[in-house]
């Protein structure tokens, strides 16, 4: 029997393997964050790494998001390669001053003298009944800021391979990981390919409509596309992956092929990331379109606790299917 070239792996395990590999590869890399060591990571992503690498490399930090993210920035300026974990994006407003006013700005303010090669990971997303203060999709806030590289890990492949690429960046990288996907299992290639962090990816090729998304939207759109295929609609699914600097070529080329587009995201609609995608399509591919571009986004409400209301707050597979069907078969 031929050895399989793929492995079945959870999103959590993929993230952990990427961390372990980064720590093995480069002595300058260290992980710091709340409960990353003795507790094993709030979501068990770093479980076992403290025992393996010791407390110099796996640093538990006090609840001082601004303090330790700032320290990560300083350590990066001084020649280290810190991976800073902010337990969840929900606490991500506290270090936002450090991220925007320092990490994203120092290269420019210093006239190109200072690099800040820090990697900041945040667990995020909606879907675990955690209510309004622990259910955030703030990718658009960070994607607004020049100087940052902003990554959204929407697949197991990226969970396994994106960190390595992020650590190669001379500039600060924010990585959004999705806690609702941690237990999901997928088949991925055994050998991690070099993924890069400059291009979006077509996750499913199709000819009828371009569904453009990121984060948890990727698996939802893939599921929707499979269902649509059963009804004879051939959807293309594009995973943006890199929210800044944005690769527009990939989705513009897709729109030029399908002439229809739907943008899907969990984040609140107004001034959201979908607005940016749609603007670019208007500016650069307007005459390719057969119909107005649509978007499915988060409903503009603090996320409620009850499951049925939470589910209604963000686009679900059925909403994506319905939207596409309405567009293509009015």
Site residues, another protein (CB under 8 A)? 30, 56, 61-62, 64, 66-80, 82, 97-98, 101-102, 106-115, 146-147, 149, 170-171, 245
Residue with tokens 């299992």: 185
65 is catalytic: yes
**Could you tell me the smallest distance in angstroms from the CB atom of residue 117 to another protein?**
9
How far apart, in Å, are the Cα atoms of 64 and each of 29, 34, 222? 21, 9, 38
Residue with tokens 């001082």: 64
Single out the residue of 226, 246, 248, 199 nearest to residue 318, CA to CA.
Answer: 226
Q: Which of 21, 134, 144, 248 is catalytic?
A: 134
Residue with tokens 């959807």: 235
> Do 66 and 94 meet the contact criterion of CB atoms below 8 Å apart?
yes
Single out the residue of 232, 239, 255, 188 nearest to residue 328, CA to CA.
Answer: 232
> Measured from the CB atom, is 17 or 66 closer to another protein?
66
Q: Which of 13, 34, 56, 65 is catalytic?
A: 65
How far apart, in Å, are the Cα atoms of 227 and each of 179, 208, 233, 326, 329? 25, 14, 9, 14, 15
> Measured from the CB atom, is 59 or 186 closer to another protein?
59
Tokens of 172: 């600060």
> Measured from the CB atom, is 110 or 322 closer to another protein?
110
> Measured from the CB atom, is 61 or 278 closer to another protein?
61
**Could you tell me the smallest distance in angstroms from the CB atom of residue 162 to another protein?**
18
**Could you tell me the smallest distance in angstroms from the CB atom of residue 46 to another protein?**
18
> Measured from the CB atom, is 106 or 209 closer to another protein?
106
> Do 193 and 141 meet the contact criterion of CB atoms below 8 Å apart?
no
157 is catalytic: no
**Could you tell me the smallest distance in angstroms from the CB atom of residue 156 to another protein?**
28
HEC readout, 129-196: CCCHHHCCCCHHHHHCCCCCEEEECCCHHHHHHHHHHHHHCCCCEEEEEEHHHCCCEEEEECCCCCCC
**Could you tell me the smallest distance in angstroms from the CB atom of residue 210 to another protein?**
27
Q: What are phi and psi of 173, to 5 degrees?
A: -120, 130
Catalytic positions: 65, 134
């Amino acid at each position: 029997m031929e050895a399989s070239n793929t492995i079945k792996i959870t999103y959590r395990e993929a993230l952990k393997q990427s961390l372990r590999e980064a720590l093995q590869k480069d002595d300058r890399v260290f992980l710091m964050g709340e409960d990353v060591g003795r507790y094993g990571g709030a979501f068990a992503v770093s479980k076992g790494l403290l025992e393996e690498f010791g407390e110099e490399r796996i640093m538990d930090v006090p609840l001082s998001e601004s303090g330790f993210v700032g320290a990560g920035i300083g350590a990066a300026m001084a020649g280290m390669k810190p991976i800073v974990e902010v337990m969840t994006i929900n606490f991500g407003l506290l270090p936002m001053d450090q991220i925007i006013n320092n990490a994203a700005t120092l290269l420019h303010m210093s006239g190109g003298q200072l690099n800040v090669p820090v990697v900041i990971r945040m667990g995020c997303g909606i879907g675990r009944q955690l209510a309004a203060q622990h259910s955030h999709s703030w990718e658009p806030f960070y994607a607004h800021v020049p100087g940052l590289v902003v990554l959204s890990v929407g697949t197991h492949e990226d969970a396994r391979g994106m960190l390595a690429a992020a650590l190669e960046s001379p500039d600060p990288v924010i990585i959004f990981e999705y806690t609702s996907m941690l237990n999901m299992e997928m088949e991925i290639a055994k050998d991690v390919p070099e993924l890069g962090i400059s291009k979006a990816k077509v996750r499913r090729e199709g000819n009828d409509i371009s569904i453009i998304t990121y984060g948890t939207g990727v698996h939802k759109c893939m599921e929707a596309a499979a269902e649509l295929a059963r009804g004879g609609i051939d959807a293309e699914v594009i995973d943006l992956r890199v929210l800044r600097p944005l690769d527009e070529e990939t989705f513009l080329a897709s729109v030029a092929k399908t002439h229809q587009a739907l943008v899907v995201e969990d984040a609140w609609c107004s001034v959201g990331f979908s607005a940016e995608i749609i603007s670019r399509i208007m500016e650069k591919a307007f005459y390719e379109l057969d119909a107005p571009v649509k978007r499915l986004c988060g409903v503009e409400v603090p996320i409620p606790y009850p499951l049925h209301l939470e589910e209604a707050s963000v686009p679900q597979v059925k909403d994506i299917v319905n939207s596409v069907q309405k567009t293509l078969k009015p």
